[in-house]
Structure 1
Amino acid sequence: MSQSPLPDAAPANWVDAYAPEPLKPWLKLGRFDRPIGIWLLLLPGWQGVALAKSYADLPMTARYWWFLFAFLVGAALMRAAGCAYNDIVDRDIDAKVARTAGRPIPSGQLSVAHAWEMVIGFSLLALLVLLSLTKAAILLGVASLLLVAVYPFMKRITWWPQAWLGLTFNWGALMGFAAVLDGLGWPAALLYLGGVFWTLGYDTIYALQDIEDDALVGVKSSARRLGGRAAQGVMIFYVLAVASVVGAGVLAGLHWAFYVGVALYAAHLIWQVRRLRLDDPALALKLFKSNAWAGLILLAALFAGGF
């Protein structure tokens, strides 16, 4: 029986359009029908590589192309493993929320045992990629597992699970920097901090889709906590994100082109807030997905700052 696209997937996504029917539940479990999550996990890693290259004034050799490819593969694998793990933990909640009830586990298409197979298998593949990086990056990659393991429980104990997601999703900024220089520095720390605030903003927008269902099932979120002040909250988070990134550029001694790019990055974030409507879930999803472009703009700025 043909499966329908999930509510937060594009109607013409490649999984529903082209994947064989037996594979669709597996691909949906890993969110391959919604690639925005791969972008948002990948881009901080690429940004860390770009910042380290520009900071150390290094030429663009084949080594850096490998780092970019390794982070792409690693992000796709770990995002899928993380989503499967998240769905194992949240299966009872997902069954009660309209947007998530059709996911493979709550809908009965896959079992919890199947999901654990994806978690373990994809994590092992990601480990092989991780082992190709520097010692510092490997240690950081192993440390990230604690953030990943705890994240699904945050919505049960704090109003700010989006902040923990920021800590988790932007860990790649530290890893990317460490992959190039085999160590960390204050520019990497500020880039990471900026990413945490960026995620806190865009995931608050994302959480607006579920605000009513979350209230019914008792799930906490920054969107619920901020209520009618969500737009103001997102603006504050984005201002802090831009300020942190500017600080990273100053400490790294980046050139003027970086600041031009950051101005475009800031303009994109302001555009999101100006368009935001608290009672329009479809628009919230669209604005959330636009953060792939925001991240790419910042990536270009970090590379440009080293030329």
Structure 2
Amino acid sequence: MNDTAPEITTPDTQHRGLVALLPARARPYALLARFDRPIGWWLLFWPCAAGLWAAGGAARWDMALWLLLGSVAMRGAGCVYNDILDRDLDRQVARTASRPLASGQVSLKSAWIWLVSLCLIGLVVLLQLRWQAQLVAIASLLPVALYPLMKRITWWPQAWLGLVFSWGALVGWVEMDGGSLATLCALYAGCIFWVIGYDTIYAVQDMEDDALVGVRSSALAMKGRIVPGVTALYILALAGWAVAVWLIRPDWLALLTLLPVATHLGWQVATLDTADGMNALARFRSNRLAGLLMALAFLTIGSVG
């Protein structure tokens, strides 16, 4: 008799929350767009909000809400597109085998129709932006389309995700015509390093399966140096945000607005256990709070800068 407890794998999609209340036929489509996992759209939204607020858009709550809707729709569209390309790989990974396309709950044709529908919602949001911000948003489509291929050709697909998931900072900034290119670059760079850090934590869950099927990730590239690696990435993120804050308001007291997010990121790396997938997942999900704290820092600075 084997007394060893079997390893528990958290499935990537689950019928829970509002998704569980939907009609049975609609649930697979909600799961395909990851509506059961709102963490993704929050992580996409907070750089949008930071860019908007850093550029002086504290009063533009209407635009913040439009950007939130766009984050929900386009994150969902990105997930559907990713699953279309990765459906064969997903069948080979325990955590992703239950995804609607991989498991056959949704046909490939239906997935494409759902993808177009989500993109149409994104188009409605796009039309709310001034034309300069529209161009910036449209420019994100190519890196978004290429992202699912990165895990096949580089050990650092998280770096590409950093470019994509931080793009909203550019959109929010240009929507408000923030002006200073240096400030925007510092804010964007900080967000990129933050994304690479938290997605490396996320990739800890799949290291064994990824190695077996030939999928690459920063977690595998770092091997036994994940905690110091993520620590360095978070320090670079904070450095980028600190430069942006200083350029908006050159006052040492202004840098204290970053203390809450710095403390939270420090807690993440101090308590991260790379041998425990559930621990890594919890630390990854906590970045919803980290993003909020970061965006609030720029809301504070942008309001008084």
Shift of 1:125: 1.9
Q: Return the letter of the residue paired with 2:158.
A: Q
Shift of 1:172: 0.2
Instruction: Give the SS at the match of 1:22.
Output: coil
1: CA distance between counterparts of 2:47 and 2:36?
Answer: 21
Shift of 1:10: 7.1
1:141 aligns with 2:137: yes
Asked if structure 1 preserves the Cα contact closer than 8 Å seen for 2:48 and 2:170, the reply is yes
Q: Return the letter of the residue paired with 1:13.
A: G
Cα–Cα, structure 1 residues 44 and 254, in superposed 2: closer, same or farther, change >3 Å? Answer: farther
Q: Return the letter of the residue paired with 1:52.
A: A
Q: Return the letter of the residue paired with 1:15.
A: V
Asked if structure 2 preserves the Cα contact closer than 8 Å seen for 1:197 and 1:240, the reply is yes
Q: What is the match of residue 166 of structure 2?
A: 170
Asked if structure 2 preserves the Cα contact closer than 8 Å seen for 1:14 and 1:33, the reply is yes
Q: Return the letter of the residue paired with 1:228.
A: G
Q: What is the match of residue 39 of structure 2?
A: 36
Q: Return the letter of the residue paired with 2:35.
A: F
Asked if structure 2 preserves the Cα contact closer than 8 Å seen for 1:47 and 1:173, the reply is yes
Shift of 1:119: 1.5
Q: What is the match of residue 217 of structure 1?
A: 213
Aligned counterpart for 1:20 among listed residues 10, 20, 23: 23
Q: What is the match of residue 258 of structure 2?
A: 262
Instruction: Give the SS at the match of 1:21.
Output: coil
Asked if structure 1 preserves the Cα contact closer than 8 Å seen for 2:33 and 2:79, the reply is yes
Q: Return the letter of the residue paired with 2:53.
A: A
Asked if structure 2 preserves the Cα contact closer than 8 Å seen for 1:178 and 1:184, the reply is no
1: CA distance between counterparts of 2:141 and 2:253?
Answer: 35
Asked if structure 1 preserves the Cα contact closer than 8 Å seen for 2:12 and 2:98, the reply is no
Kindly, what percent of the aligned residue pairs are identical?
47
2: CA distance between counterparts of 1:105 and 1:259?
Answer: 46
Q: Return the letter of the residue paired with 2:18.
A: W
1: CA distance between counterparts of 2:23 and 2:15?
Answer: 17
Asked if structure 2 preserves the Cα contact closer than 8 Å seen for 1:187 and 1:252, the reply is yes
TM norm structure 2: 0.93
Q: Return the letter of the residue paired with 1:38.
A: W
1:288 aligns with 2:288: no
Query: How does 1:110-129 map onto structure 2 within 5 Å?
Result: 110-129=106-125
Q: What is the match of residue 5 of structure 2?
A: none
Q: What is the match of residue 55 of structure 2?
A: 52
Shift of 1:9: 5.5
Cα–Cα, structure 1 residues 184 and 115, in superposed 2: closer, same or farther, change >3 Å? Answer: farther
1:83 aligns with 2:79: yes
2: CA distance between counterparts of 1:257 and 1:301?
Answer: 12
Unpaired segments ≥5 residues, structure 1: 1-5
2: CA distance between counterparts of 1:84 and 1:66?
Answer: 27
TM norm structure 1: 0.92
Asked if structure 2 preserves the Cα contact closer than 8 Å seen for 1:8 and 1:285, the reply is no
User: Root-mean-square deviation (CA), in Å?
Assistant: 1.7
Shift of 1:124: 1.9
1:130 aligns with 2:105: no
Shift of 1:257: 6.0
2: CA distance between counterparts of 1:297 and 1:184?
Answer: 23
Aligned counterpart for 2:11 among listed residues 7, 11, 24: 7
Shift of 1:260: 2.0
Shift of 1:250: 1.0
Q: What is the match of residue 3 of structure 1?
A: none
Query: How does 1:222-233 map onto structure 2 within 5 Å?
Result: 222-233=218-229
Cα–Cα, structure 1 residues 20 and 257, in superposed 2: closer, same or farther, change >3 Å? Answer: farther
Shift of 1:139: 0.5
2: CA distance between counterparts of 1:254 and 1:7?
Answer: 47
Q: Return the letter of the residue paired with 2:246.
A: V
1:109 aligns with 2:105: yes
1: CA distance between counterparts of 2:13 and 2:242?
Answer: 34
Aligned counterpart for 1:274 among listed residues 270, 273, 288: 270
Unpaired segments ≥5 residues, structure 2: 1-9
Q: 1:210-267: per-residue Cα shift (whole Å, max 9, x none)?
A: 0000000000000000011011100000000000000011111266664222111111
2: CA distance between counterparts of 1:184 and 1:260?
Answer: 22
Pairs aligned (count): 295
2: CA distance between counterparts of 1:184 and 1:116?
Answer: 40
